[in-house]
Structure 1
Amino acid sequence: MEINIVLEELQKQNKTVYKNVFDRFYKELVIYANNFLFDQQASEDVVQDVFISLWENAQTIDIKTSLKAYLFAMVRNRCLNYLKSIKITDDLNLIDLNSMIILDEDLDLISEEEKSIVYNHILKVIDTFPVSMQEVFKLKFIENFSYNEIADELNISVNTVKTQLQRAKTKISQSLVVILALFSIRP
């Protein structure tokens, strides 16, 4: 369904379209939220709040990219607000890395072929990491371990975990800047 038609129907309070949007994105959004919060119930609550907001504010919503990107951005922002409310900060900006790796939200404007190129590029960069950094990275972003769980699993300090993830983020970010810039230069 075209985004304009979906938005128009949501603005008309079309319950069938709303239910279709809910059914299409709910599980994926909860999984995404849980990558920030590591709390299933809180993740479900955040996503439900997003859908309530979508219903209540449909008249004023202005989506520039896609409904999917909009919903994921809403969930991300609410997760960050939730984390702030419980006094958890992300000094290393690892949440941004998490969303970049887990979700192609910022990549909605590039083709599937280009997304595949970016994904394969990230995998190649990860392969260049030292073994210890690869272990930390995979436990965090593939196994969804918390910092403490990674530290316990690898018998290292939480600060070492954070340092390894920061270094990984820097390496990935530096390599992605070049490849994403190439996509934006095309005619």
Structure 2
Amino acid sequence: MLDIAVQAGPDWSADEDWEAIGTKAVTLALEHSLHADWLTRALCIEVAIRLTDDEEVRSLNAQYRGKDAPTNVLSFPMVQPDLLDSLANTDDGEALLGDIVLAHRVCVREAEEKGISVTDHATHLIVHGTFHLLGYDHQGEAEAEAMEALETQALASIGLADPYNRD
């Protein structure tokens, strides 16, 4: 079971059902990960998603990553990667997987550059952030290719184009 809490700031369109979008994106990432079986367990997986402004993301990025600039998405895992597998042995209970934070203007600008909707881009960024919560990374070339392939597969399963524009 998933428990996705979404908090959308005033810059984010009130016409969108961000709770449903967030839940769909987290589900997609889980379905395409090594932890897909969690979706069939009694285990409650919790993820918090904050859709905020660039200034808040800039502040978080400076504080936690030493980079004084906004970025599109930040992920804050609550479970260490080496402990994720232990959740597979749990049939009940709760696991706070972590937090995902998106910056509004960065997301809008990137969506415009890609020629896609903000909703589709935010979906991709939440999928990307969820993979980080699940222990995936893109520090090395092989890791990046593997993570990007999973993101592309997940998004393709709902009809969204390859976010990395590979032919």
What's the TM-score once normalised by structure 1's chain length? 0.33
Please identify the structure whose Cα radius of gyration is greater.
1
Which has more strand, going by share of residues? Answer: 2
Which has more helix, going by share of residues? Answer: 1
